[in-house]
Amino acid sequence: MKVLITDGVDPQCGQILAQNGFEVTEKAKISKEELKEIIGEFDKLIVRSATKVTAEIIECAPNLKLIGRAGAGVDNIDIEAATRNGIIVMNTPGGNTISAAEHACAMMLAAARRIPQATADMKQGNWNKKKFTGVELEGKTLSIIGLGKIGREVATRMQAFGMKTIAYDPMIPDEYATKLNIELLPLHENFIRADFITIHSSLNESTRNLVSKDTLDLMKKGVIIVNCARGGIINEADLAEAIVTGKVAAVALDVFESEPINADNPLLKLEQVIVTPHIAASTNEAQEKVAVQIAEQIVEWKSKGKLEGAVNASAVELAQTPGVQSYLTLAEKLGAALAQMAPPHASKMTVRTSGEFLHKFNEVITAAALKGFLDVRQSKDTNYINAFTMAKECGISLEQKFEKENPDYTNLIRIELENETAKRMIGGSVFREKDVRIVMIDQFLVEFKPEGHIIIYNNSDKPGVIANVTQLLLQHNLNVAYVALSRDEEKKVAMTAIVVDGDVEPSLLDEVRNVDGVSDTCLVSL
């Protein structure tokens, strides 16, 4: 268990890991080329924000199982590439919450009262009281864009200054915000009503350039904007123009589109702009907290299989819920069986779950089904983290459906696979907590354990067919362990599943296919 720690993470991180049996290498500063050269030796990588863990780096890391971020933001890590390679990305939410919140509040106060500008002016020997007249916070409306942990801490502190707090966050329910004395509003309403705006959202395609000319035009004249979240959320050229025109009165920024900030950035030339070099989380307390937290999370994962802070492994976390493991085993076996039964070019999969217990496990059950299916159909390693990405790359379109109840089974998993001309379905359930059973194939209700080598075929519903098949098995010296039968009386067709002891040669399968009345023969090995 070899861990590489970069970016000057607090020494307590390495100490905790070493005490728990990890082999730790620390390189406070490392170039991209050096990282590419050595990353293949390690199965875990811990970074802060300086190291860029790109797809190029990840492709050089065949043994990497986990990337730990000592901090909250993970935009310096290619999550998609990590997920595609089955690598867990873990952060430390909350470790630097207080530090970041306090910095945002300090920046807001400094912008409102022009404290840095007044300080610089006085150090030049001036005494310009009138020049640095500020504005009060009391009674003003503060918009918080992103109501996560940091945004909520900012709200609490600024409410103590008498500010009215409104917010935009599509993931937060209204009743939760109401308890915090925060009014949730649509994004454009926040921009229209706010005297102050503070940003606390992550950077993604929906938030990139969230503050730009169009949204700046909605804002009050004289608005004050604070961003201690992520660069790129604000379009810096549009912001500079809005400051020059007087639309924006003051700005306080800790993050920038390009870091370190370019010396020719127009914001640096404007007196109304306060800047700090991405230090919102840079307190002694915060750096110790996140270092200890990421180390403890990794130790918990190693010793107990417990995942905390995993940003791309919700399926893995759900898989640890008591009672669900047998259903995941079932889903994997159903996926593997279907891969051996279905047409080779079938590309549309539907995963159906029934029963209240399985409702919240749709994602992990689907991941398990995909893992079982892809382990048979393609050679790359598949796990619950990369199953969805792998399926997409293999051209499989996926649909997940939930039904509240099934008339025959309390909890039921069904998987369908189809192409333009053919469709197959297999379903299963779990009895007495751990007794995993296949209970249906296509239109047939049939029950058997998904274990060993299983010959499955349809046949005409007439005497002698099963006798002829079992006679062939005897001739090949194969013992029949279990036989499951089902009939479709309306169509006069039956289905048979025969579990045998020992390997089934392709020649035997051809002989079974040639038995009069037999059709759709396949071998499933589980």
Least confident of 142-151, 304-313, 426-435: 304-313
- Selected catalytic residue, list 259, 271, 405, 505: 259
Fold (topology level) of 2-93+286-310: Rossmann fold (3.40.50)
Q: What is the pLDDT of residues 478-497, one digit of tens each?
A: 999 999 999 887 878 899 99
Residue 379: predicted pLDDT: 58
Percent above pLDDT 70 for the chain: 100
Lowest-confidence segment of 209-213, 227-231, 338-342 by average pLDDT: 338-342
Average pLDDT for residues 146-170, to the nearest whole number?
Answer: 96
Second CATH level (architecture) for the domain 97-275: 3-Layer(aba) Sandwich (3.40)
Confidence band of 342 (pLDDT split at 50, 70, 90): confident
Contact 43, 64 (CB under 8 A): yes
pLDDT the model gives residue 380: 61
pLDDT of amino acid 511 = 94
pLDDT value at 173 more than 90: no
Helix, strand, coil percentages in the chain from 3-state DSSP, rounded to 5: 35, 25, 40
182-202 per-position pLDDT tens digit:
999 999 999 999 999 999 998
Would you state the pLDDT for residue 25?
Answer: 97
**432 catalytic residue (yes or no):** no
Quick one: pLDDT at residue 129? 92
Q: What value, to the nearest 5°, has the Cα angle with vertex 427 and ends 426 and 429?
A: 155
Task: Please determine whether the domains at 2-93+286-310 and 97-275 fall in the same fold group of CATH.
Answer: yes
- The three-state secondary structure class of 255 is coil
Q: Where would I find the beta strands (DSSP E) of 313-383?
A: 348-354
The residue ranking higher by pLDDT, 309 or 447, is 447
Q: What is the pLDDT of residues 243-280, one digit of tens each?
A: 999 999 999 999 999 999 999 999 999 999 999 999 99
> At a CB cut-off of 8 Å and minimum separation 6, what does 424 contact?
338, 341, 342, 343, 346, 416, 417, 418, 441, 442
Q: Does domain 450-526 have CATH number 3.40.50.450?
A: no
Active site residue 188: no
Q: Is 340 exposed, middle or buried (0-12, 13-18, 19+ CB in 10 A)?
A: middle
CATH superfamily of 313-442: D-3-phosphoglycerate dehydrogenase; domain 3 (3.30.1330.90)
Q: What is the pLDDT of residue 372?
A: 93
Q: Rounded to 5 degrees, what angle do the CA atoms 113, 202, 359 make? A: 135
Smallest CA-to-CA distance from 39 within 55, 20, 16 is with 55
Q: How confident is the model at residue 217 (pLDDT cuts 50, 70, 90)?
A: very high
Residue 344 pLDDT more than 80?
no
Torsion, Cα 404 405 411 415, to 10 degrees, reads -80
Is there a contact between 141 and 166 (Cβ–Cβ < 8 Å)?
yes
pLDDT tens-digit series, residues 32-62: 999 999 999 999 999 998 899 999 999 999 9
The verdict on whether 114 is a catalytic residue reads no
| Region of poorest pLDDT, from 291-305, 307-321, 341-355, 495-509 | 307-321
End-to-end CA distance of the chain: 32
pLDDT of residue 395: 86
Q: Which percentage of the chain shows pLDDT scores above 90?
A: 74
- Highest average pLDDT, of 68-82, 85-99, 254-268, comes from 254-268
Choose the catalytic residue: 48, 114, 230, 377. Answer: 230
pLDDT digit string, tens, across residues 278-299: 999 889 999 999 999 999 999 9
Query: What are the sequence ranges of the domains in the chain?
Result: 2-93+286-310, 97-275, 313-442, 450-526
Model confidence over 424-472: pLDDT tens digits?
Answer: 999 999 998 889 999 999 999 999 999 999 999 999 888 889 899 999 9
Is 94's pLDDT higher than 90? no
Given the residues 48, 114, 200, 278, the one annotated as active site: 278
